[in-house]
Amino acid sequence: MKNVAKGSIFGKIILFIVGLMLILIASINILLFIFGDTSTANISTRRVGGSNDSYPAESRYEWSVDYDFLASDGNVYNGTSTRRGSDMGVKVENTVYYFSFQPRLNSLSSEVRPNAGQIIMMLLGGFLLSVAFKKSNYS
């Protein structure tokens, strides 16, 4: 019985951490959109990996997007993201959202715009938290 209880507690801790992280990631992006400052970024891209033929031609390759920007405090900060694009290139916006009090928390504009993915992440995180706090039948 003790092994079941320990496994159950460990599993609940993992569910709690994953659920909390999903909610935090989605919330930070929404908060960046609402309260964040913006700056223009210098973008550099490089193609990584091979072709995925199950995607349309304009999104067969994965691209690593690195960017740096000048924040309002006068320092240069950087970030990274990934995008899907064609074999010749990828379209990336050059607007960055960041918190003026913590410019290391930043994202490209397409990542912070409110979207269904953020809502799904928050709902999934909430579900995992509810499962983590559910009473066990083994107690």
Note the pTM of the prediction, 2 decimals: 0.80
Counted residue by residue, the chain has a size of 139
> For residue range 69-124, what is the model confidence (pLDDT) as tens digits?
999 999 999 999 999 999 898 999 999 999 999 999 999 999 999 999 999 999 99
Specify the pLDDT at position 6.
60
Dihedral angle over CA of 89, 94, 46, 65, nearest 10? -130
> For residue range 19-55, what is the model confidence (pLDDT) as tens digits?
999 999 999 999 999 999 999 999 999 999 888 888 8
At residue 1 the predicted structure's pLDDT band, cuts being 50, 70 and 90, is very low
Does the pLDDT at position 5 exceed 80?
Answer: no
Bridge pairing between strands 95-99 and 37-48: antiparallel
Per domain, the residue ranges of the chain are: 3-133
Does the pLDDT at position 7 exceed 80?
Answer: no
Contact 85/61 with Cβ under 8 angstroms?
A: yes
Backbone angles phi, psi at 89, to 5 degrees: 175, 180
